[in-house]
A and B are shown apart, each in its own frame.
Chain A
Amino acid sequence: MPRRKLVAVYLGLVGVPLLGLLGVLRVGRRLAAPISVGGSWNLQADFRTLTEAPCRELLSSINQPFLSISQSGANLVFTLNNSQKTTVVGTLNRTTLAMGGAEPLSSPSRTCADPQAIYLAATVSTQGKNRVLTGTLGISGCASCAPVSFHAVRQASGGGR
């Protein structure tokens, strides 16, 4: 191929797309992604307020960091730091996140032993450099257990997810 034609083809097939790439990067800066909540969270709550002993023990047996969140946009997967590493799905809606369903289970006695019954609703905020969750935590189907208020701080990490 003659050199002049090669240069013209090169500019057309490489140069023009490169300019397009710059345009895409410029346009994309205006896009907003969901707030980052991925990572491990240390949780503070007083589980002694739960009246049912099995429910109290279920939540107290979870170690710190209490939960880790794997985030894909607004879709969240929560992993509790218990021996089974229970995973529960959740969602993020702007600054409000929810984990687990609040639908009551048929047998209350079974409920308190089932980590899948744990649900959470919280609001995300930023305090200084830390991301903070504030909300309530409860057990689905446990009629005598009032949801417990909690405060959680995200651990510093490299990746964030």
Chain B
Amino acid sequence: MLSLVTLILQIAVVIAASRAVALLFQKMQQPKVIGEMFAGIMLGPSLLGWVAPHFSTLLFPPSSLVYLNALSQVGVVIYMFLVGVALDPKALKEHGHTAVLTSHVSIIAPFVLGACLALLLYPRLSDDGVGFTGFALFMGAAMSITAFPVLARILTDRDMLGTKLGALAIACAAVDDATGWCILAYIVVLVRAHQAASTPLWLTLGGSVAFLLIMLYGVRPLLRGLGKSCREQGYLSENKLALIVMVALASAVITERLGIHLLFGSFLAGVIMPKGKKFVRYLLDKFEATTVVVLLPLFFAFTGLRTSIRLIHGSRMWVFCLAIILVAIVGKLGGSMIAARFAGGGWRESAGLGILMNTRGLMELVILNIGLDIGVISPALFSMMVLMALVTTFMTTPLLEWVYPIRMIREEAAALRDVEIAHEPALGRAAP
């Protein structure tokens, strides 16, 4: 009973802190999600545990964290499902070769730089429990991620959806996300294959391929009726909503049992859902508010409780941390910018795309938590990477305003008023 009271108190404190800091960040012209991320870090050992250790232990006793973790994981499972729902593979086709080139370079450039950085960090911040290949690939994947939902939010806030740059950024981020998750699935399999008591590799690989095929060619056609029903009636019955939730949860359980991770399953379930605008909007409206307002702040708080800036002690550790931030920015921002320039974009437009693609946000935190859970990164490295995620997400809006001011966007939007908006990103209204 004590645990339940503690849990309810924790939820209340987390939501209050999250809203307060989010409002503060909103006043600083930043997306609310960045404030929520900061609030999570503030509730952990980096601030609350340092300033008021007794209160921190009272509010977040170690024995209670298992409940907080479970709730936050449920939130991320639903959130990843919504990210999958919002992801439209057609977005890439609409922007042709430019999007393919830019998105691929925006993945490979930070990936390679992240792997190079692993040469420096592996002997210093890892251990022989994880092989170099798994470590380097994870560093690459973590460096190359773009937060598709945060990007959508920033573009919506700045009224950039109708611009060529906004549409291209959304398309590239969608490809980056899908590719990043595929790479991460491979890394999880690779790392878990070396651990005792893990699912046999043949079962993981064979099962994953079979499951993917079943979802794409077996389950997806069956779900088309849901999209049609929503389009005709304007809503989905409770039974149909329950069916959708069960598909997402079953998919999450199966991928976890296959030895990948439950988030891949929920993401995949979202990807195979019908992509009609009405259906996507209806699902997001139904699930977004609870997930974004209640469950995701719990995830940020849980991440914050695992992040200890004090683990980064001494000048050497801070140099590593700065190197991580620098490599992340140069790889993602620089790589995307150069690719966009080669694809024919102007310098300003290319720089704008690079800045947008450098947004990591929540997706980075999700990936980092997976890395810490499977033991591929150490707690100190986790804390450094969380700082990198915060810095790269925080810098997006001011840098974008500098390179691509709102005045210029309005002029461009006015010129393109008659052009149909090709892709309306979901998760753009309320989601982080």
Contact = CB atoms under 8 A, between A and B. Distances in A.
A36 interface: yes
Interface of A: 1, 6, 9-10, 13-14, 17-18, 20-21, 24-25, 27-29, 31-38, 70-75, 77, 85, 129, 156, 158-161
Given A24-B115, A72-B125, A158 B198 contact: yes
A24 B112 contact: yes
A161 B97 CA distance: 43
A156 B196 contact: yes
A73 B118 contact: no
A160 B373 CA distance: 9
Interface in B354-397: 372-375, 378-381
B29 interface: no
Given A24-B112, A161-B129, A71 B342 contact: no
Interface stretch (B100-108, B153-161, B283-291): B100-108
25 contacts: A1-B344, A9-B101, A9-B342, A10-B104, A13-B101, A13-B338, A14-B104, A21-B140, A25-B133, A25-B137, A27-B119, A28-B118, A33-B126, A34-B128, A36-B128, A38-B378, A70-B378, A71-B127, A72-B380, A156-B197, A158-B374, A159-B195, A160-B127, A160-B195, A160-B375
Given A129-B196, A161-B372, A77 B379 contact: yes
Nearest to A18: B108
Given A1-B97, A17-B108, A158-B197, A72 B378 contact: yes
Contacts of A9: 101, 342-343
Contacts of B381: 72
B132 A161 contact: no
A73 B119 contact: no
A10 B140 CA distance: 19
A27 B112 CA distance: 13
B380 A35 contact: no
A72 B311 contact: yes
Nearest to B331: A17
B218 to A, nearest CB: 31
B139 to A, nearest CB: 10
B130 interface: yes
Contact of A25 (B62, B136, B338, B380): B136
Interface of B: 62, 97-98, 101, 104-105, 108-109, 111-112, 115-116, 118-119, 122-130, 132-133, 136-137, 140, 192, 195-198, 311, 338-339, 342-344, 372-375, 378-381
A32 B131 CA distance: 9
Contacts of B127: 33-38, 71, 73, 160-161
A6 B339 CA distance: 11
A32 B126 CA distance: 10
A141 to B, nearest CB: 23
A38 B311 contact: no
A14 B352 CA distance: 21
Contacts of B378: 38, 70-73, 161
Given A28-B122, A158-B375, 12 more contacts: A25-B133, A28-B119, A33-B127, A34-B123, A34-B128, A36-B127, A38-B129, A38-B375, A70-B378, A71-B378, A77-B379, A160-B130
A24 B130 CA distance: 17
B111 A21 contact: yes
Contacts of B195: 158-160
A17 B375 contact: no
B280 to A, nearest CB: 31
- Which 5 A-B pairs rank lowest in CB-CB distance, beginning with the nearest? A72-B380, A36-B129, A159-B375, A72-B378, A160-B129
Contacts of B124: 73-74
B331 to A, nearest CB: 10
B379 A17 contact: no
A73 B377 CA distance: 10
Contacts of A77: 311, 379
A1 B109 contact: no
B122 A25 contact: no
Contacts of A25: 115, 132-133, 136-137
A13 B112 CA distance: 11
A1 B374 CA distance: 43
B104 A33 contact: no
A115 to B, nearest CB: 14
A119 B167 CA distance: 59
A31 B373 contact: no
Nearest to B339: A13
A52 B297 CA distance: 48
Contacts of B375: 38, 158-161
Contacts of B380: 72-73, 75
B311 A33 contact: no
B119 A17 contact: no
Nearest to B343: A1
B192 to A, nearest CB: 8
A18 B409 CA distance: 36
Contacts of B108: 13-14, 17-18, 21
B115 A13 contact: no
A33 B104 CA distance: 31
A38 B376 CA distance: 12
